[in-house]
Structure 1
């Protein structure tokens, strides 16, 4: 079981932060492992249409010891971290 410790990403770039979790008594801190499932687009008047979405895990950015746990991590971060969008920095 993986335990959520912290995440320091913040608006306007919520997806860029360090995720810290614990597994088997050992802490892992990983930067840039979250990918937004949200989106941003623009209407005809160039008004931003922002949609928040579930977080996805960038498996290539995970610590090797957590590679097989990406589904559990994805569920954990979606439970603990507010959703954002890939256009959050607009």
Structure 2
């Protein structure tokens, strides 16, 4: 279970909006996160990054789950010996 945030939900939403607003002024997202994090009360760049990812996931702009492996690939990934992989038991 995650620890409760010391920042209010409104502060987190405002910080996420600020990152979206300044994103065009910076070459990459990490630079925008650092710029917003320097403002008083905005939180750390790490916290901002987490909040932005959560917002993107919640709004459907970022996938929520990792893609699943195909069944034949899963079988190869399981711990087996080399002789079992090619189908011949020695």
Structures share fold, TM-score greater than 0.5: no
Higher strand proportion: 1
Q: TM-score, normalised by structure 2?
A: 0.29
Q: Which has the larger radius of gyration?
A: 2
Q: TM-score, normalised by structure 1?
A: 0.29
Greater relative CO (CA pairs within 8 A, separation 6+): 1
